[in-house]
A and B are shown apart, each in its own frame.
Chain A
Amino acid sequence: MCDVATVQKIANCLGVAPGKIQLNEEQVVTRTGAQNKTVSGFATILESLARESKSETAQNSIVTKEVQAQVYQWIEFAVLYVAPGSKDKHVSKQLLADFNKLFISKSYLVGHFITLADLAVYYAISELVKSLSPLDKENYLNLSRWFDHLQQRPEIHQGEPMLNFTTIYLHNWATGTHI
């Protein structure tokens, strides 16, 4: 996921020209921006994008040192655990449960506002969320709420079809909780 496409999507979100995004010989994503400056590494690139952006999300991500550190750690978590772990049955189950627990009391990963952390995890976990059955989406209700909330933003879904979190057609079978 820490691939070229995700960086481009996030750059779009932030309203920054992505520049040239590619993989270097170590299979690490790099960005060549203005003045031929090259940055390598997913998290480091995201930080550089944030510095260039005037968007709300980018500003939110650098308000304090503490927020910055937390944002970084979630980006790293997305790279290290969410993206590769989504492909593993056991890891992905644990990830879903962990995030679901996390979002019991939070609307966003860091602080009370949207940051790059949300974006990184959102794109890293979207394939996994897409694969969930309606029942699973109910099981991971808090995660679903967070995901659904983010995907409503046009700069985030970027024209991709939105995932369906309504459970209304389940209503005949069980009066479920609705997001």
Chain B
Amino acid sequence: MIIYTNEGNPLGLQLLMLAKFAKRAVQVQLVNLNDAKYKDLLVLPTLELDTGLRLFSTAAIAKYLLGDEGQQRDEWLEWSTTLLAPALAHHMAVGHRADPNALPVLNGLVKKLDDCLRNAPFLAGDKLSAADIAIWCLLAPDGTLKGAQHVDNLRSWYDKIKALPEVQQVLGEQPLKELSFNALQQANRYGGLHHVPLRRSSSVDAGKLLAETAPTVADTVTDEEINAARAAFTYTKPKELAEARTVLPKAGERNVLITSALPYVNNVPHLGNIIGCVLSADIFARYSRSAGYNTLLICGTDEYGTATENKALAENMTPREICDKYFELHNSIYRWFGIGFDYFGRTTTQEQTDIVQEAFHDVYKAGYILTESVEQLLCQKCDRFLADRFVEGTCPHPGCGYEDARGDQCDKCGKLVNATELVRPRCKVCNSAPVLRSSDQLFLDLPKAEPQLREWVDRVEQGWTHNARVITRAWLREGLKPRCITRDLKWGIPVPHKNFEKKVFYVWFDAPFGYVSMTKRYTKEYLQWWQPAAGTNVELFQFMAKDNVPFHSVVWPSVLLAINKGNTLVSHIMATEYLNYEDGKFSKSRGIGVFGNDAQETGIPADVWRFYLASARPEGQDSSFSWNDLAARNNSELLNNLGNFVNRALVFCEKNFNSTVPQIVLNQDELVLLALINRELRGYINSLEKAKLRDGIRHLLAISRHGNGYMQTQQPWVLLKGNDEQKSRAATIIGLCANIACLLANLLFPYMPSTARNLFAQLNAKQTPLDASKPLATILLPAGHKIGKPSPLFTKLEQAFIDELKGKYGGTQETRAEEPQQAAELEAAVQAQSDKVRQLKASTKDKTVWQPEVNKLLELKKQLEAAQKTTPAAAAPAAATQSVQDLENAVQAQGEKVRQLKSSTKDKAVWQPEVNVLLALKKQLDAAKAAPAAAAPAAAVPTAAAPANVGADAGKIKALEDKIAQQGEKVRSLKASGDATIWKPELDVLLNLKKELAALTGAPAAGTQSKNKKKK
């Protein structure tokens, strides 16, 4: 049997005991319900029987495993799960969930137990039963009975059960102190048992049995933690954080090589790009340096490719000049964000060319290169082969069918696409359909590398983020295919192979080697990082957004494995999900979102951006950038929590202790505080070791929250006015708080380097190394240390200011602030209303139903027109509405005509053309009715032009239609005569007229023509 449970779940103990008493072998598996693998589990603990049957109710399991033991036992079992367990969960809750009403209820339940045990040795009579086990297991964790009075029967029962050999054995495997009812919160997706209301007994008050102290977090601090905190809190002169001029890996030390996905040079990075790679990499690198690891952070711009070539054409510069220009832009943005690259390079260097060409020779020699003739898309209009990203079309993957799939990847299903497989491809530049041409290209033989790759992935994927594992697994599951690594371009690294000199390498074989070549620019000893000597261990951390995972987890490792020269392979792929902008996508083309240069213009300090982006980092799932959230975090977390604590501590020190850190004498309160801080410190280190930057911030803020709480309860400002003993207490408090402030400065440094430096200056201290193996708070500022001048670290972000920014970056960059808000809203309303009208009209003929809605629509349109008066777009809807009326009149007239004709003659040939005219008119009417709504908001969109014309040309159309009718009549009468040479020219005239009409209305020419042909 398997028990699935979560860490610390007290009910897991029950299952262990039950299995023990039932003499069944069982193994425990700790799981997380958020893990996709366990999405089918409803409630933890869940027991899986050997048959595969899963049970999640402890009472049901008890009855199943131990069989029938009488009704009394069953009642106790139910009582324990529905009354006792919820009451305990309420009682043990901390923070905002703490419930003062739980204690009296719990007292009543305990009294009932005690009363029952007065009369019998066990709950269900003379014999031990599952009920005793279940209830004992609920009372044991969290020390519920600690300090309880007047419950002697219960106590002796408790001790009797505890002494049982089975119980002792289980407790040996599962120590009680690891269990807590707080763990129930993670035991289901309903937030634990918090939603179960307490059932207050109607009988008289049970009195005070259990100890009264409501549990707080402080109560959970154990003696070991206190002792550890006391032992660690000493002063040793800190080692200086020395950094070598050139960082190189060293044998026997931890060497961390960090790369951030290379941004493409033409794109201005937006906040999502920044947090996705460069900022995350920088925060991690800063942590890694302060933890004393040999750390190298490498990044640069990816510069080769068609996009650059095109941009160069567009701006009338050489590709090199374009790259120079945009490289500077990138560089300045990252510098402003305080990204501390060891080297920020570019791929257009001689080193890059050498390394890529050498790698190609190696891969070629190892036999991983295939030559194949490739069908490529050639745009005849632009006269060039289209690179993948310059083709768009419908995604070829079954079930996707996304219409704007790119030539290399579909944004919707995320799968890779071969440009030639796109359904209905189109050139992105000129929108014309490209043609297929074939040329020879080189391919990387991924299937050949697949076995080695699989073996490698199995070994290292534990260190990758969840999404990186999933994406890589999906790739491997589909099986690898050879990938083309050359292109018919000029701006790239020439392929050093016979007959291929005119071609260049594609990004897959080019960009990843940028990491290596940039390291080579940084130091001639770059091979020490990339091909470390035996005994030197280099850990490679690569930061990227999830769309970059396949290149780093499959393609590049395959190349390096093929080369087989002991290259450093990635050990940690740190892939983020996407950051959205206020629940939409960032879009450079539409100007939605905040881009690197925009952030600078807002006037909000770079450090606040860094902090916000790290705390909104899309780690497990997509997250959103929101201005309100930015303001809220700045104001509540930075200003009110962190800034407030640090500033209060330092100002107290300055004003009352002459800027000198006073002597600290630790009492119990201080030790509890230190123990709690050590917990968070351990959490911080554990998170950052795994590059979980978001969690790191949480722990950091928890430390200052503990500090604030401590200061609030101790009230040093009161103590300072008291006697000598109280004054020395105040001294201890201020001294401790100043030290915590210094600890916070150290922890803050990776996230907010300039703020941390500012704080260090205020503390008159230096950054001290973090000891990841011993995450315990120490004395950083010894008594007598002189601090500097305190000043506030953060400023408030006012709502008005945030609203202003929200408006500024919400719309299209060009039209930002131009379009009046009102018009946009009205447009939306018109569109919605016209949709409604169309649907109503389609569904029913009852005019009374849809007429009111139509009136509403017309009213809305009028308003919109008024709002848009200044813009030319206003003309379109007006004209279109006009034409609707014209057309309606025309339809009515034509309808009348048809009816008359039909009644007068049975000859279909006579009335059919008129009917066709009528149908065409009706179609136009429909189009015209549908059009105004579409035309109004999107007057600029080309499709709107046609319906807009309808109004203007309505008269012309009518005239044409009359002509057609006449001509048709003529043709028919001529045909009756039979001589084709006579009627043929007239028919042509008729067809031309119809074509003209079709061009004007956009509706297909009426069907008479085909009918005539058939008859013939």
CB within 8 Å of B: which residues of A? 2, 25-28, 39-44, 47-48, 65-66, 68-70, 72-73, 76-77, 79-81, 84-85, 87-88, 90-91, 94-95, 98, 172-173
Contact = CB atoms under 8 A, between A and B. Distances in A.
Contacts of B78: 41-44, 76
A43 B81 CA distance: 11
Nearest to B65: A69
B273 to A, nearest CB: 34
Interface in B93-121: 108, 112
A173 B780 CA distance: 68
Contacts of B83: 26, 28
B199 A28 contact: yes
A84 B196 contact: yes
A69 B190 contact: no
Nearest to A94: B189
Interface in B54-81: 55-57, 59-61, 63-64, 71, 74-75, 78-79, 81
A81 B42 CA distance: 11
Interface string B409-440: 00000000000000000000000000000000
Nearest to B51: A66
A49 B61 CA distance: 21
A94 B60 contact: no
B63 A91 contact: no
B307 interface: no
Contacts of B108: 26
Nearest to B78: A41
Contacts of A69: 55, 57, 60-61, 63-64
Contact of B190 (A65, A68, A76, A85): A85
Given A65-B64, A69-B55, A84-B196, A41 B191 contact: no
Interface in B176-193: 188-191, 193
Given A47-B74, A172-B840, A173-B839, A72 B79 contact: no
B316 interface: no
A99 B568 CA distance: 49
Given A80-B196, A94-B190, A27 B202 contact: yes
Contacts of B81: 76, 80
Given A98-B42, A98-B189, A70 B196 contact: no
A47 to B, nearest CB: 7
List 4 A-B pairs, minimum CB-CB distance, nearest first: A73-B57, A41-B78, A172-B843, A73-B60
A72 B59 contact: yes
A25 B55 CA distance: 31
A119 B750 CA distance: 57
B57 A41 contact: no
A76 B193 CA distance: 13
Nearest to B202: A25
Contact of A91 (B57, B82, B190, B843): B190
B184 to A, nearest CB: 11
Contacts of A40: 75, 79
Nearest to B200: A27
B1015 interface: no
21 contacts: A27-B201, A39-B75, A40-B75, A44-B75, A66-B51, A68-B64, A69-B63, A72-B57, A73-B55, A73-B56, A73-B57, A73-B60, A76-B82, A77-B42, A80-B81, A81-B43, A90-B191, A91-B191, A91-B195, A172-B843, A173-B839
B197 interface: yes
Contact of B197 (A48, A81, A84): A84
Interface in B190-238: 190-191, 193, 195-197, 199-203
Nearest to B64: A69
Given A76-B82, A81-B190, 11 more contacts: A26-B199, A42-B82, A48-B71, A66-B51, A76-B60, A81-B188, A81-B195, A84-B195, A85-B195, A88-B195, A173-B839
A27 to B, nearest CB: 4
Contacts of A77: 42-43, 56-57
Contacts of B843: 172
B71 A25 contact: no
Contacts of A88: 195
A172 to B, nearest CB: 4
A84 B193 CA distance: 10
B25 interface: no
A73 B86 CA distance: 16
Contact of A44 (B74, B191, B196): B74
Contact of B57 (A2, A76, A90): A76
Nearest to A27: B199
B314 interface: no
Contacts of B840: 172
A69 B55 CA distance: 8
Nearest to A71: B60
In this complex, the member of A2, A65, A73, A95 whose beta carbon has the largest number of chain B beta carbons within 10 angstroms is: A73
B82 to A, nearest CB: 6
B164 interface: no
A104 to B, nearest CB: 11
Contacts of A70: 53, 55, 60
Nearest to A24: B202
B228 to A, nearest CB: 38
A80 B56 CA distance: 12
Nearest to B836: A173
Contact of A41 (B63, B75, B203): B75
Interface in B840-874: 840, 843-844
B63 A72 contact: yes
B101 to A, nearest CB: 14
A65 B61 CA distance: 11
Nearest to A77: B57
Nearest to A172: B843
Contacts of A173: 839
Identify the interface centre among A26, A47, A68, A95: most chain B CB within 10 Å of its CB: A26
Contact of B203 (A25, A65, A76, A80): A25
Given A41-B74, A43-B78, A173-B839, A26 B59 contact: no
Contacts of B199: 26-28
Given A91-B191, A98-B189, A172 B839 contact: yes
Interface centre among A44, A68, A88, A91 (most CB of B within 10 A): A44
A79 B57 CA distance: 12
Nearest to B188: A81
Contacts of B112: 26
Contacts of A47: 74
Interface string B12-44: 000000000000000000000000000000110
A28 B75 CA distance: 11
B75 A25 contact: no
Contacts of A172: 839-840, 843-844
A85 B86 CA distance: 13
Contacts of A94: 189-190
A80 B194 CA distance: 10
A158 to B, nearest CB: 25
A90 to B, nearest CB: 7
Contacts of A87: 195
Contacts of B191: 90-91
B202 to A, nearest CB: 5
Contacts of A79: 82
B71 A39 contact: yes
A2 B79 CA distance: 13
A37 to B, nearest CB: 9
Contacts of A66: 51, 53, 64
Nearest to A23: B202
Nearest to B46: A73
A5 B636 CA distance: 49
Contacts of B839: 172-173
Nearest to B79: A41
B102 to A, nearest CB: 15
A12 B601 CA distance: 72
Interface string B141-171: 0000000000000000000000000000000
A43 B189 CA distance: 23
